[in-house]
Every structure is written in structure tokens, then in C-alpha cells.
Structure 1
Amino acid sequence: MPSDNINEINARRRGRYEGTTLDGRYLIERELGRGGIGVVYLARDQQLMGKPVVIKILLEQMLETDDDGWLKRKFRQEIEALARIDHPGVVGVLHAGEMADGTPYLVMQYIEGRSLRSVMKPEGMNLQRAAHLIRQIGQALASAHQRGIYHRDLKPENIMLQALSEGEDFVKLIDFGVATVKDSQVATNKETTAVAGTVSYMAPEQFLGRPSAASDIYALGVIAYELVAGRRPFNPETPFQLLEMQREGVRVKPSDLRPSLPSAADALILQALSFEQGERPQSAKDFGEGLAHALINEFETARPKMPSVASSRQTILHPVGTGRNPAQAATTSTPKQLRVVLLYKRNAQPDEHLLQLLEAEFKAQGYDVFIDRHLSIGVEWAKQIEERVRAADVIVPLLSASSVGSEMMAYEIQVASEAAQLQNGKPRILPVRVNYEDPLPEPLGNILNPLQYALWTDAEDDERLAGELLKSLQTPGELEAKALQTEPPGGAVPLDSKFYLVRPTDDQFLNAIKRHDSIVLVKGARQMGKTSLLARGLQLARQEGAHVVITDFQKFNASNLENIETLFMALGEFIADQLDLDVYPDEVWKPRRAPSINFERYIRREVLEKLSAPLVWGLDEVDRLFTCPYASEVFGLFRTWHNERAVDPSAPWGRLTLAIVYATEAHLFITDQNQSPFNVGTRLELKDFSQDQVAELNRRHDSPLKDSIEVERFFKLLGGHPYLVRRGLHEMFTNNIAFAMFEAIADSDEGPFGDHLRRILVLLARDPLLSDAVRDILRGQPCPNNESFYRLRSAGVMAGDSAQDVRPRCHLYETYLKRHLL
């Protein structure tokens, strides 16, 4: 083997190439920097008197995961792009090759200078210098566009300034790694249109996977704005928020920040930032030339500074002291300081508007207002959220179309409800519906439906709503009730939904219902679709002529579960209500009898013997009973009914089917397995979706995943987790978001799964031992004990057959939890 090849292999094993000679010519001296897929080195061309060059090499760890060769094609595409362009404003490509192991590398011109970012100033750049640079950038972009190449990641960091003479800079565009190359010889059309770039400089169409020359012109508009104003036009927290800001348009013009800016330059920059591609300048060169001319027009009169949109908006959002103060209308006395927690969905409008309004009004009254806005996400964050909710006097949740589907919102309201049951009604919950009058999904509906609420429709309701809430805070009473309408998606998948996916377990469950089996068990981790399957089984039972009762233990409050007698009494009352029976449990209950005897007699005599058809009783979320001290007695009774039916099928118990839905390992709580209903009857377990099932759901969502490659990557990200799959497809479809962008932000705290992921973190924060177990698993170690393993698996956080082979449920969970727990 040639010594050069051995050199390369040894360097690759080290992960460093300093001192290595490539192709017998390029001696690598030192690393200059690293990007997402490649590392850049300074080298010397030994055949040209040691001339400095730059060498870019694909990272080894990226190659290890490049099963389909996509990264190699993407790397070669950069070579193709640079080879097509021959312009002094674009970095030149000198050579390209492959190492002995097939790793590609690229040799480029070395530019002695600095990046545009390094010379930008907070107060803005000298206009004449800005004009000189913008003109050159426009010319270089135009040359690339003429050859069918769109940069797609134009930003100050990718624009080098080469010093040719004192005081004069020459522009060089670099890093064409994500460029779109029309009629590419090495990449498919899909690969050249996948979402890529730096969010703050991406045009709206880039988020949708439709880049064009106009996308680069938009990026140049952002850079021009930044050069003259010292800041970018938008500063979003998430890509979703940026897309909404772009759609609304620039609110703070460059001239608002720099009054001396010529009006023609102001107009041209705003035109380049248009949401619609057709409204932007049609040529990068024309835009650069036109803006440069406008910037150095000495006859333009400087404009006086105008008040910014931000300050105007602040006046709208905070009406305190403007003469329209609803607080003054509500009361003239000084209320005692109350602790108020405002719950909302981050980065949603008009939720944010209403949040700021209520925050200002409540603080003006001297209330202690808490909003989860500035806390750093982590275990301490999770603990503080729960502490503040439990300690509050009042909880005000803002219920909108965006927030009612938030798991974090549901969790916080559940915490408040549990605290209120234990603390004599404190905190009070005052729901505010934000232009939303549909039924609430569970568990919100169970907690909030009995409560009256305030309704906000638009900004005209600001004053009325604030006054209404302040009055309720100061003189506790009921808010005006509103009527509910229609049915929104959320919770269990509706029976007629086209998004419900039939799995093999469905047929097994429905057949067991048809056979009138004694006990039918449906087990599955959290959010697997158990309730949706139960609903379909009960619907079939109705169609078959059976009587149906459904008991959801999530709806039971603390008093229902206080002891076994209150539980059986509550179960009997719910059954009597649903079947419209004449006799209720309290009418036949005998204090001298044991609670289980009373309940059994009631079910046998007043229910089964009085009904004309079989009874199917669906029990959902029975896990809630597992930790109750009387759990074994309750489940032992169910097992007794099963045994009696086996002995005498003609007895009343032969007409009863129990359909039990649960997630937790029952054997951890029921010590006598002979008294357990969880090891008899028909036992079914729900599994995650397969890749083919994900592909089918994608089709039913009008294919936001555009091809089989995206379906495969989506499946690898979410692991077939039913809830995450449905949520992800829904987010991409409703927000018209391309998969590449969705993938890039999926595990962020403000991404499409942010509330779901934060809820997992909150639950772990409540149990230090469980948190430690997760940390061990994330480090590649076994779960420390079986109990933690079963709890994590039933919660849907981990997967595996035993504590020894446990693993994160999906890649999304793994990356998120590693970031916050390790």
C-alpha cells in the first residue's frame, strides 16, 4: 500500500489530518473550522511553491451514518456548483478527489481576509461601504443564478472580504454546501430542494422546500437590512414563528432605526423582503446595483425618525394608563395580593397578545403574576412550574385552537385540579376561551367543562375580558357561561375519522367483543391509541345489540377513590346513569355487608338480571387503581366473576364482558396472581406503527412526506410512536412545512413536539430515582431495576423486553433527553 494511503488511513483513525499529504501534493497544516458535515483545513500546495489552499473533508461520523450515500452526493454537489461558476466574486475550486477509503475532499482557493460578519456594527455600516459590498454580492449571485445555482445559505458568515488594497474590500461568496444545482449530475431533484439554510436568512418558500433565485435575493435583503440598521428585520424564537412574521411583513423599517437612510434604499430593501417571490426584485444584479445607487445618492433628504411599530404595538397590548383601563372600571379598592398563574401555548397568536394584556392588568393591580416565559428548560424548570401552579390562588388558562392540544397545558391544569381537591378549592381555575368554542379534548374537558368561562373573540373584547376577570378575582363568582359547538379533533380519534389506522389488534379486539368473551385486556404504553380502539369495540357492541357502559378512571376525583366503598358506590352510580336504571346503589346498599359484596349483588341483581341483552363494560385507564390500597380486592372481584362464568355460563356473569384498558405492568401491584384478571381472558397488546403504516397515514394526510426516503427518515425519528406520528403529519400538513425543516426542529423546546417533550421532563423531575434510571439508559447502561424499567416502558418513554436491553422509545426522545439530563 502506498505510504500516502497509509498516511490518510491513520489520519482518519485519529480524526485529525494535520501533517497529512493528500494526493501527494497538499500538505495539511491546521484546522480552520467545522460545519455540520465537513471540516475545513489550511493546507499548502507543494507543487506551487507552498501556495496556501483550503481543503474541505467530509466528517467521519457523518459517513458512518450515510447508509444511502446521500451525504457523499451532497458533498459532491458543492464541487459541481463551484465548478460551474467562474466569477471573481465566488471562491474558486482548484481540485477534487477521494482518499483511499472513498472519503471525498475538495481543494479551494484560500482567501486572505475576514468575513462580512466580523466588520458589521450594531449602529450599522457606513452607507458608501455598504453600497460597495451589496453591489458585488448582487453581481456574484447573478453569475451563480445564470448557471442554475441557488446558494440557499447566504449570510454574513458565508461572505468573505478579501483586502486588495488599503480601504477596499473584494467580496467572495463561500460555502455552497447546500446549494441547489439545476440539472445536477450527482443529486436528485428532491435532494436539491430539501429544506436547508440558516433560519434567519431563509425566504418563506425555502421552508416549503421550493428554493429559487428569489430566495437568495431575499437573503441579500436581510443582509442589506442588517448592514444599514445594525440588526435583522425579524428575531423569531422558532422557524414557525419566523414564517408567521414573514407573512405579516416587516414592521420596523430600516429607516425607523436609521433616519438618515434614503427613502429609495428603504423601499428597495423592503421589496426584497416581500413574502411573495414575484414581488421581489427579479435579478440579484439589478437589486444590488439599484440599492447601491440609492445608498450613495447624495441628494436624498434624510428622514426624521418615526416611532417604531414595536412601540406602537406595546401601547395596544398594554392599555394600562391609556384612558381605557378596565381595572379602574372594575373596582376602586385595592385588592389583596393574589398569586396568579397564566397558562398559555408558546409562540401562538392571538394567545401572546392576550397574555401580555392580562399580565399588564394583573400586575397593575399588585398581583403576583407567574408566566413560564424566561425559565431555562430543565429539571429545575419542571419542579418550579409544578410548585408555582400548586401555590397559586388562581390559574388562568388561555384555551385556543393551538393550546387545547398542548400536553403541557393539560398537565398543568391537571396539577391545578389535583391541588384544588386537596387544598379546599385552591387554586381556582378561571378558563379563558380565545376565539374557541369547540368541545375540549380530554383530559381538559373532564376538568374544565363543569366550569364557566370567559370568552375573547378579538381585540375589541380586551377591555371587557380584563374587567370580567378582575371582577372575578376580587369577588369570586362565576363567569358568564357560553354554549359549546361542534367537535374538534383531539383525544380519542373520532369513530368516523379517516386518520384512524386499523391495526391487526383491531380485528382481534372486535372478534373478542363479538364472542362476548368474559375479559378482554388491551395493554399499551401511553398514547398508543388504546382509548380509540376501546371506543370502536364498544360501538360494535352497540351495533350487535348489547348494552354498553364506559368508565374512564381519569374522570374520578380524590373523593371517588378515597376507599373501596366510595369507589364501588361511584362505579354503581355511573353504571345506573348510563343504563338509565331505576335503582341506584345507595337504595340497596347494606352497611353490615362488605363493600365488594354490596357491589357484586348490585351488579348481579339490579344490572345484569334487569337487562334484556348482554352488557359490555369498558374500563379505561385502570392504571389509576393500581396504587390504591384496595386495588387487589377490586381486581380480585373481577377475577371472581370470570371464574364463576367459567363454572356456570348460564349464570348472570355469562352476559358480562369486561374490556379493560391499561398501560402499567399489573403484576407489580397485584401480588396474588390467582386473584388477578390480567392473566386470564383475551390478552392483546398494542404495538407501534410499522413503516408501511406510517406511509399509509402519510397518504391520508395528503403526503406531507414527499417520497419513501422522507418516510423512512420520519420513521427513524419517531420510531412509529402513534401519537408522535399523527402529530408530526398534522403539523407538517396544516403548517405547510417541508420535512427537512420539521426534522431540524423536532427535538427543540419550541418545536412541534415541545409541549409533549417538556411534559416528559416534568414527570421525570418528580421522581429523582426514575430520572437517574433514564440517565443510566442514555449512557448505554442497563436500567438499574425492573420496577423502573416497567414504569418507563408503560409511560412510553423507553422500549425493550427487559431492563437489560432497554432503550429510548425513539430517536426524538433520545436526543431531547440527552440534551436536558446529561
Structure 2
Amino acid sequence: MISFIQGLVMSRSLRISPQYIERVKRAVKHNGFFRQRDLAEELQLALSTVSSFLNGRRVDYATFYEICERLGLELKEIADLEDERSDRTFSAEALELATVDCSGEETGTAVSEYMERPPIESRCNETILQPGSLLRIKAPKRMGKTWLIDRILAQATKQKYRTVNLSLLLADGSVLSSLDKFLRWFCGVVGRELRLRDQLTDYWVDELGSSQSCTIYFEEYLLSQLEHPLVLALDDVDRIFPYSAIAGNFLAMLRAWYEKGKRSKLWKKLRLVVAHSTEVYIELNIHQSPFNVGESIELPEFNREQVQDLAQRQGLDWQGAQVDQLMSLVGGHPYLVQRAIYHLTRSEITLKELLQKACTEAGIYANHLRGHLGNLQEHPELAMAMKIVVESTHPVQLESMLAFQLQSLGLVQLEGNEVKARYHLYSNYLHDRLGN
């Protein structure tokens, strides 16, 4: 199965979907690369390759992934997959697991199947079957929220439900400049995903306000057009938390929709899935918050048994000692565990060597760690906060917003009102670099 997925990855190329080219070019400048040549030199790629990528021409998967990772972009969100969807053998999971190792060579992780964390999956599937339901999923980045959402929507499709999967990371600065623009964008994207014509001008009533107009659009147009229930999955909802006016009104509207689903036959069609990476740090009236109703799911890391099962499924004859050694470094973080198992199954490195080099520029996590360091260096206040964390031998208290932002990045974990570095991998790597 491993070689099968490697074959898929190595035999194909990707390009940016045309509607996201400008967004990607903005991300280049946002990440401090004022010229394409600067990005090419950073990644040790040919300038022509970077130019092809940024102008919507095809490049190989490894290159596509590497550039996305450096720019902080999600491959699955910006890639043009329309011509891939007809190929049933090319799964979204295989795409998500395509990675690049620290030498820039193309690889894939060892895991080709979703690792279930019972009873989470069954709880999610049961929830969306309930009329007017609301499912809340919380977990740091790269913990598997997107995979879980994909699984939920796949089950919904089997029930002949309509589905929309929308990451709020797609809302750029212009969209987030006002509540009205954001809600118009939101309605437009959902309608487009449902293959319905844009009728905003017919239903938007400025005098009623943006939230009410959005509600009318869903009630009188979108939901009314559907014969079957709609599962609307909103991923990366914490994207809007810093925009308190937008977040407060949008989240209150979602709560109002949930309440409508208790009594309205039409609104019972709507099943909401709300996923976010951090605790909710904006102030919401308890009666207007969607975060204290519905079904709550906190996606955990892999436990010791799951890590061992994962390793053994991929041909590693691991006992408890090897599992403990890996988990002492990266916990049960799905991405970090899978990446280690992949390299070990290729027999290109021993577990002892992997552990020795893991926190260095020669380790298998070098790109991942450099990405985190780059994010911190771009935000000095976060870098200073993380420096305090990694230099302390015990949990520390930070300003709430900084703590939540570091948690969203997956770098720290909360212990009451205090935080500590999430893994030894992060604390060891960042201790030296932030100290300088």
C-alpha cells in the first residue's frame, strides 16, 4: 500500500486553482519574500519552478507541498483538483499525507489509512443524523480535524445529504473588513458549493442588517432549494476570532440557526459542524454562543496503544520501549508520529538516530520546525512568549491571547491558566534558536 501511494504521488503534478493565484502571491510577500527569487533561494529551487508554481502552472507534488508548507498554505485548499476527482484511486487522504523530507526529496508518510479514535467517529456520525444538530470539534493544528470532517461528510453523502466543507482560512483581509462583506462572501461560497445561482441581490435587505439578510438567504433560498438535509462544515473558525465584531455576530447567528432547528421543519435540514484550533477567547453572551450547545468533540492525540498498533501495521516490530521513546519526543501527535514511522519503515534511519537528530537541522522534522520558527519570528510578541515557555522548567502564565495563539499553532498545551511546551521536540529546538 505504501508503494501504491508513493506511485500516485510521484506520477502526478499539481497547480494552483486559478481563483487562488492572487491569494498565494500575497502569501509570498506576507512571508517576507519580496521577489520570487528570494523564495526560490530559500527553498533551493529553480526560479523557473517557483515562477511556474505562482503562475498556476503544474509542478510536481513534492515541490507544491514544500512551497505550501513554507508559505503556511494548506495544499488541499489551493490545489486545482478538478481533473483529479474523476480518478477514484486518488484519495484525499493520500494527498494530505504527501510530504517532503528535509532534503527536499518527495516522500509520503507510512500511514495510508485514517486512524480511528473511538468512540469519536461514531459520535460524530450519530450527531449529524439528528435534525438541526450542531457538532463542535476542537483540536490543535495537524491533529486530524480535516480528516475527521472528511469522514463525517463522506458518511453524510452515503445518507444522500448535501455537504459543504468551508475553511474560514479562505476569507482574506478584504472579506474580513466588515461583517456585511464577510456574510455576503459566506453565502456566496455556500451557494456555489451547492451549485446554486447567486441570488444575493434579491434577498439581501440592507435595512434589516447583514445577519438577518444572511439568515433570510439561507431560509428562503438555499435551504428551500434542497430536498435533503445539508451538512455545513466550517473549519478553522478561529480564523475570525481576532475580528471580534465579525466573530461575535457570526457565531451568534449560528447559535440562532441551531435554535431555529429545534422548532422549524426547514431549519431541521441544517446540520452544522464547527471546527477550531483554540479555546474560544472572544466574549460571547452565554445565550448567543454556539460553543455551549450541541455535541462537543475534543480530538485527542494517539494513545500508546494506537501508536504501537500504527507501527506494527506498517511492519515495525515495536514493543512498549520503542513506543515510549518516540512518544517522549512527540507525544501522540498524528502528523509527527506518522512521519517518524514512515522514515523508519523505509529503513533509512534507526529509531536511535531519529531521536538523536530530531531537534536538529539534519532531522526528519527540520522543515516542520523551521516553519514554526518562521511563524514566531514574524510575530515578535509570540516569539518572546514562547521563549519564556521553553526557558522555564515549569508551566508559566502568559497573557491570554498569546497563550491561545501559541496553542492554535500547536506549540503549547494549557494546564489551567498556565502553559507549557507541548513536546520536547519543540522545547529543545526552540530553546536554542529563540535564545539567540
Q: TM-score with structure 2 length normalisation?
A: 0.77
Shift of 1:449: 4.0
Q: Does 1:740 align with 2:398?
A: no
Q: 2:381 aligns with which of 761, 769, 772?
A: 769
Pick the structure with greater CA Rg: 1
Q: 1:630 aligns with which of 234, 246, 264?
A: 246
- 1:149-164 residue pairs with structure 2 within 5 A? none
Q: 1:661 aligns with which of 255, 272, 275?
A: 275
Q: Does the 8 A contact of 2:149 with 2:233 survive in 1?
A: yes
Q: Does 1:503 align with 2:121?
A: no
Structure 1 unaligned segments of length 5 or more: list them.
Answer: 1-336, 347-351, 363-370, 372-393, 415-441, 451-481
Match of 2:159 in 1: 544
Q: Does the 8 A contact of 2:167 with 2:234 survive in 1?
A: yes
Q: 1:593 aligns with which of 186, 200, 208?
A: 208
In structure 2, what is the Cα distance between the partners aligned to 1:553 and 1:692? Answer: 34
Q: 1:514 aligns with which of 129, 137, 162?
A: 129
In structure 2, what is the Cα distance between the partners aligned to 1:683 and 1:517? Answer: 15
Match of 2:332 in 1: 720
Shift of 1:733: 2.4
In structure 2, what is the Cα distance between the partners aligned to 1:344 and 1:659? Answer: 41
Describe the superposition over 1:81-108 as per-residue Cα deviations: whole angstroms up to 9, x where unpaired: xxxxxxxxxxxxxxxxxxxxxxxxxxxx
Query: What SS does the aligned partner of 2:136 have?
Result: strand
Q: Does the 8 A contact of 1:789 with 1:803 survive in 2?
A: no
Q: Does the 8 A contact of 1:569 with 1:586 survive in 2?
A: no
Q: Does the 8 A contact of 1:492 with 1:531 survive in 2?
A: no
- When the two structures are aligned, how many residues end up with a matched partner? 379
Q: Does 1:410 align with 2:26?
A: no
Q: Pick closer, same or farther for the CA change 1:542–1:633 going to 2, 3 Å.
A: same
Q: Which amino acid aligns with 1:689?
A: F
Q: Does 1:753 align with 2:339?
A: no
Match of 2:96 in 1: 491
Q: 1:343 aligns with which of 27, 34, 40?
A: 40
In structure 2, what is the Cα distance between the partners aligned to 1:715 and 1:583? Answer: 50
Q: Pick closer, same or farther for the CA change 1:577–1:339 going to 2, 3 Å.
A: closer
In structure 1, what is the Cα distance between the partners aligned to 2:91 and 2:162? Answer: 25
In structure 2, what is the Cα distance between the partners aligned to 1:750 and 1:490? Answer: 25
Cα RMSD of the aligned pairs, angstroms, is 3.3
Match of 2:406 in 1: 792
Q: Which amino acid aligns with 1:502?
A: E
Describe the superposition over 1:354-389 as per-residue Cα deviations: whole angstroms up to 9, x where unpaired: 63xx59xx9xxxxxxxx9xxxxxxxxxxxxxxxxxx
Query: What SS does the aligned partner of 1:549 have?
Result: strand
Q: Does the 8 A contact of 1:728 with 1:752 survive in 2?
A: yes
Describe the superposition over 1:127-157 as per-residue Cα deviations: whole angstroms up to 9, x where unpaired: xxxxxxxxxxxxxxxxxxxxxxxxxxxxxxx
Q: Does the 8 A contact of 2:312 with 2:318 survive in 1?
A: no
Match of 1:428 in 2: none
Query: What SS does the aligned partner of 2:291 have?
Result: helix
Q: Pick closer, same or farther for the CA change 1:718–1:709 going to 2, 3 Å.
A: same
Q: Which amino acid aligns with 2:141?
A: R
Match of 1:121 in 2: none
Q: 2:286 aligns with which of 663, 673, 688?
A: 673
Query: What SS does the aligned partner of 1:661 have?
Result: strand
Q: Pick closer, same or farther for the CA change 1:707–1:399 going to 2, 3 Å.
A: farther
Q: Pick closer, same or farther for the CA change 1:752–1:490 going to 2, 3 Å.
A: farther
- Larger RCO (CA under 8 A, 6+ residues apart): 2
In structure 1, what is the Cα distance between the partners aligned to 2:312 and 2:131? Answer: 35
In structure 2, what is the Cα distance between the partners aligned to 1:527 and 1:609? Answer: 36
Describe the superposition over 1:664-685 as per-residue Cα deviations: whole angstroms up to 9, x where unpaired: 221x123423221111111110
Q: Does the 8 A contact of 1:492 with 1:529 survive in 2?
A: no
In structure 1, what is the Cα distance between the partners aligned to 2:259 and 2:314? Answer: 46
Q: Which amino acid aligns with 1:652?
A: L
Describe the superposition over 1:540-588 as per-residue Cα deviations: whole angstroms up to 9, x where unpaired: 1111222212112122333333322222222222222222235632333
Query: What SS does the aligned partner of 2:113 have?
Result: coil
Q: Does the 8 A contact of 2:70 with 2:371 survive in 1?
A: no
Q: Pick closer, same or farther for the CA change 1:606–1:484 going to 2, 3 Å.
A: closer
In structure 1, what is the Cα distance between the partners aligned to 2:208 and 2:422? Answer: 47
- 1:171-320 residue pairs with structure 2 within 5 A? none
Q: Pick closer, same or farther for the CA change 1:734–1:514 going to 2, 3 Å.
A: farther
In structure 2, what is the Cα distance between the partners aligned to 1:610 and 1:700? Answer: 46
Q: Which runs of 4+ in 1 moved over 6 A?
A: 394-398, 482-485
Q: Does the 8 A contact of 2:133 with 2:261 survive in 1?
A: yes
Describe the superposition over 1:505-563 as per-residue Cα deviations: whole angstroms up to 9, x where unpaired: 22221221223452110000111100110111111111122221211212233333332
Q: TM-score with structure 1 length normalisation?
A: 0.43
Match of 2:300 in 1: 687
Describe the superposition over 1:678-710 as per-residue Cα deviations: whole angstroms up to 9, x where unpaired: 11111110111111111111123222x644322
Q: Does 1:602 align with 2:207?
A: no
Q: Which amino acid aligns with 2:279?
A: E
Q: Does the 8 A contact of 2:131 with 2:261 survive in 1?
A: no
Describe the superposition over 1:163-216 as per-residue Cα deviations: whole angstroms up to 9, x where unpaired: xxxxxxxxxxxxxxxxxxxxxxxxxxxxxxxxxxxxxxxxxxxxxxxxxxxxxx
Query: What SS does the aligned partner of 1:609 have?
Result: helix
Describe the superposition over 1:446-505 as per-residue Cα deviations: whole angstroms up to 9, x where unpaired: 44649xxxxxxxxxxxxxxxxxxxxxxxxxxxxxxx999856834379xxx743111022
Q: Does the 8 A contact of 1:531 with 1:620 survive in 2?
A: yes
Describe the superposition over 1:737-774 as per-residue Cα deviations: whole angstroms up to 9, x where unpaired: 22122112111123211111111112222333322222
Q: Which amino acid aligns with 2:40?
A: L
Q: Does the 8 A contact of 1:774 with 1:783 survive in 2?
A: no
In structure 2, what is the Cα distance between the partners aligned to 1:698 and 1:397? Answer: 38
Q: Which amino acid aligns with 2:226?
A: L
Q: Does the 8 A contact of 1:731 with 1:737 survive in 2?
A: yes
Q: Which amino acid aligns with 2:283?
A: I
In structure 2, what is the Cα distance between the partners aligned to 1:671 and 1:799? Answer: 23
In structure 2, what is the Cα distance between the partners aligned to 1:614 and 1:483? Answer: 23
In structure 1, what is the Cα distance between the partners aligned to 2:347 and 2:63? Answer: 15
Q: Does the 8 A contact of 2:137 with 2:298 survive in 1?
A: yes
Q: Which amino acid aligns with 1:609?
A: S
Q: Does the 8 A contact of 1:521 with 1:659 survive in 2?
A: yes
Query: What SS does the aligned partner of 1:502 have?
Result: coil
Match of 1:651 in 2: 265
Q: 1:640 aligns with which of 256, 280, 289?
A: 256
Match of 2:423 in 1: 810
Match of 1:729 in 2: 341
Q: Which amino acid aligns with 2:199?
A: Y
In structure 2, what is the Cα distance between the partners aligned to 1:404 and 1:750? Answer: 22
In structure 2, what is the Cα distance between the partners aligned to 1:549 and 1:396? Answer: 25
Q: Pick closer, same or farther for the CA change 1:516–1:773 going to 2, 3 Å.
A: same
Identity %: 25
Q: 2:174 aligns with which of 559, 581, 591?
A: 559
Q: Pick closer, same or farther for the CA change 1:688–1:539 going to 2, 3 Å.
A: same
Q: Which amino acid aligns with 1:585?
A: L
